[in-house]
Amino acid sequence: MLSKYKFKLDQKLDEFLLNLPSQEIYEPIKHIVGLGGKRFRSSVLLLITDLFNGDVNDAFDEAVAIELFHNFTLIHDDIMDQAPLRRGKETVHKKWDENTGILSGDILYAVSNQLMASSKNNRTPNINQLFQKTAIEVCEGQANDMAFELREDVSIAEYIDMIKLKTAVLVGCAMKMGALIAKTSELNARNIYDFGVNLGIAFQIHDDILDVFPEKESFGKQVAGDIIEGKKTILSLKAIEKIDSDSKNKFVELLNSNKVKDKEKIQQVMVLYKQLNVLEDANELKNKYYELALSNLSNLELPVDKKNKLKSFAEFLMNRNY
């Protein structure tokens, strides 16, 4: 469904990369943007513009800005997580160094703002305000994610709020931005944002699941990287919630340990995950937010065939295996 939008978007991104200065600091940007990826946030912005009868050609600056902003967050997140792989290739800070990663990420953020400012839609202030609000929330979500690593009392509700900020609001932002460019009703703009946020939460839970239980050998990231890093995910939090008190401290200690070899740590944690059946719990929570998204979808003032397109898109995200 998104392929035709992604094709045009990739063309625009190729033009962007070709026009970058030859200065060395731009090489990491060419590297990460050139790796491709799903482009689903930026492509869905174009889809929403189209579904609400807007001109897709009027939305490319915003779509490219969303994609560049997303890649900025990936560079910085990988540095904070010390992740070795991104989309199956070396992360920027591994291929170059951390300082280069920070600076190239900063440039991506600045360029995304430059695109928003130069867009033909820049006279609609609520579009730029939405983008800036979302940028702040994404950084807040990442800060919470980092803070959770030092805490042993993170609740499921706090986890949901964290992934809402870190991941889901950008999905909602992309969708609402498309609706605003198409000049649809305020009710539609609000409902499409809520649809995107709830779908984004379900998407991130699905991502947490795929990190540990990938359905393909090549997932594009380090398998079980969340376990290695001791991250608080729906799987680890459900395990902490369900494990008996005598074993809880040992499990938390294992999850936070840097002394246990990665392979051994993954094996031990996986055994506990399977014993506690946390995969089923995670899928249940994912489905809850997916159903909330479908409820938002039903409230949209759109023809049935267009609602069905959005439902098909949501189903694709929830059933992806990579």
Relative orientation angle of helices 98-118 and 27-34, to the nearest 10 degrees: 70
Q: Are 230 and 255 in contact (CB under 8 A)?
A: yes
Radius of gyration of the chain (CA): 20
**Cβ pair 171, 185 in contact under 8 A:** no
37: left (phi over 0), alpha (psi -120 to 50) or beta: left
pTM over 0.85: yes
Number of domains composing the chain: 1
Residues 58, 254: Cα–Cα separation, whole Å: 51
> Inter-axis angle of helices 245-256 and 262-276, to 10 degrees?
150
Residue 55 sits at φ, ψ, to 5 deg, of: -90, 115
What are the pLDDT tens digits along the chain (322 aa)? Answer: 899 999 999 999 999 999 999 999 999 999 999 998 889 999 999 999 999 999 999 999 999 999 999 999 999 999 998 888 888 899 999 999 999 999 999 999 999 999 999 999 988 889 999 999 999 999 999 999 999 988 888 999 999 999 999 999 999 999 999 999 999 999 999 999 999 999 999 999 999 999 999 876 544 556 788 898 888 999 999 999 999 988 898 999 999 898 999 999 999 999 999 999 999 999 999 999 999 999 999 999 999 999 999 999 999 999 887 6
Range of the domain at 109: 3-319
Helix (H) or strand (E) holding 211: helix 186-212
Domain CATH code at residue 222: 1.10.600.10
> Residue 70: which residues within 8 A CB-CB, separation 6 or more?
41, 42, 170
**DSSP calls for 85-131:** EETTEE-HHHHS-HHHHHHHHHHHHHHHHHHHHHSTTTT-HHHHHHH
